[in-house]
Amino acid sequence: MPHTILRIDSSARRDGSVSRALTDRILARLSDDTTRIIPRDLAGGLPLLTADWIGANFTPEADRTEAQRAELALSDALIAELKAADTIVIGLPVYNFGLPAALKAWIDLVARAGVTFRYTEAGPEGLLGGKRVIVAAASGGTPFGSEIDFATRYLTHILGFLGLTDVTVLGADRLAVDADAALAAAHAAVDRLPRAA
């Protein structure tokens, strides 16, 4: 079985994006001729949750109408991509101290009770375990790991909630302060990534 990597890009910029360039570098590091890449570019945006979507999601699967199944079709496709992947690489530009809206919309579409997590007597349990996640982050001024880094902390938390606990965050932070140093450190971190999980 070939190794499968799900690549998620969330930068609104397709040209000149640091997070996309880092994701390129990560894929070059981790993939070979047999690797299967599933691309998912969120730059065009994703639909936000609606009352109809929520109603469909909370209707038992056997009782859903055709309209409700259609309402959940994109969510089902996004979850299928996650389940098919051995490794997930997420490009994360920090916008206003948080995630791009499209990446938050992706999270809302894939975080589904009974599908990607469930509630138990012992608390919530993620259902997507056994996968490696690498986050390629980029920020203009936010230091990663600092008290104002809401983006990587939130993303790591919600991934763990879904059972994705093997998460490596690397990237270029404070690009507006010293871009050359930030990029050099990020490239070095990518080059140190183990090729196998």
In the annotated binding site for FMN, the residues are: 11, 17-19
Is residue 40 a contact partner of residue 8, using CB atoms and an 8 Å limit? Answer: yes
| CB hemisphere CA count around 145 (13 angstroms) | 6
Residue 113, both tokens: 């009770």
How far is residue 181's CA from residue 106's CA, in Å, rounded to a whole number? 31
How far is residue 136's CA from residue 168's CA, in Å, rounded to a whole number? 9
- Taking the C-alpha atoms of 55, 59, 61 and 65 in order, what is their torsion angle to the nearest 10 degrees? -60
